[in-house]
Structure 1
């Protein structure tokens, strides 16, 4: 059983470069929202983060392909259902963050940090990498701190961008290390796939 899970996780790591391209794309969405919050308005920045969130996966796939990975997992990977479930959970959590922003606009970005931090915790199982636990807890802690101190929306968005950029670099380095350690790493085929 453990080897099937490990093979599925290795397939996810290989296909999506351990998730680093997606973290970079998410960081860019946070950065765009931070700039809009600073230059235009916090209300517009909310919509920029929503719009940026819609393109995180396709941009992450393009970046993975640019880095020489397929940008997809093998058909039949049992972790695909977990990846889809976390995406649905994120979408269903968006009204909570938006509702918080109606009460106090400063709460939107901290609420999103909590939501996205929670999603990254599941990536620890999806990719088989403990670094996602650290990323998720770091984002959630930042969200709690920024929300409880009433930080300006631009500050909260910049913090989200910075945290994700730093972890994207770390995860990319871990992905490169795995490739070097396994000499042109390509995961073993999943049971039931050709």
Structure 2
């Protein structure tokens, strides 16, 4: 199987990947709320445990939509998807360590980690939109840490909004490709969406 065929499979099975950012947006909103109204430690717990639930909850959304929710056993993209997924909880351990020393840095650092993990999705899905998503999340996190410290407390809410908004063009891209399979290269790279 060539790379483009594998990417088409990933886009088709995971519907452009829209359900991951959609679920992530809810988890990020919960973590931001916990940070704002409970404590930084609560936000750390919500984001770490919630992060482990993203794939199962995303799969439930896909199952509810009917059709496949998982790549077939032995598909060449499974390894890359799993490797990408494991970078987040491992990276969050560093963000948690940083957050125990300076609680206001936890959410921005986590945005950088989550954003960086989306870079592999460019190759996994064959969609440049994931580069945009990665860049925005990393930029917000870095800006909150290094340029505009006043954004630190709101960075979780901003991350949730970015993830929620990104689910829309991901889903639209899937729908376009599903309706016009002959133009899958155009739909897959999201350039027709202006991204």
Kept in 1: contact 2:88–2:117 (CA 8 A): yes
How many residues of Structure 1 are paired with residues of Structure 2 in the alignment?
Answer: 182
Q: What runs of 5+ residues in structure 1 fail to find an aligned partner?
A: 186-194
- Give 1:154 shift: 4.2
Query: After the TM superposition, which parts of structure 1 deviate over 4 Å for at least 4 consecutive aligned residues?
Result: none
Q: Distance in 2 between matches of 1:182 and 1:100?
A: 46
- Determine which structure has the larger helix proportion and give its number: 2
Say if 1:151 and 1:51 are closer, same or farther in 2 by CA, change over 3 A. Answer: farther
How does the TM-score come out when normalised to structure 2? Answer: 0.87
- 1:176-191 aligned within 5 A: 176-182=175-181
Kept in 1: contact 2:105–2:145 (CA 8 A): yes
Three-state SS of the structure 2 residue aligned to 1:70 is coil
How does the TM-score come out when normalised to structure 1? Answer: 0.88
Kept in 2: contact 1:107–1:147 (CA 8 A): yes
The residue that corresponds to 1:157 in the other structure is: 156
The residue that corresponds to 2:172 in the other structure is: 173
The residue that corresponds to 2:187 in the other structure is: none
The alignment yields a C-alpha RMSD, in angstroms, of: 1.7
Q: Distance in 1 between matches of 2:25 and 2:67?
A: 20
Q: Specify which of 53, 59, 70 is matched with residue 61 of structure 1.
A: 59
Q: Distance in 2 between matches of 1:33 and 1:154?
A: 11
Kept in 2: contact 1:11–1:73 (CA 8 A): yes
Say if 1:145 and 1:161 are closer, same or farther in 2 by CA, change over 3 A. Answer: same
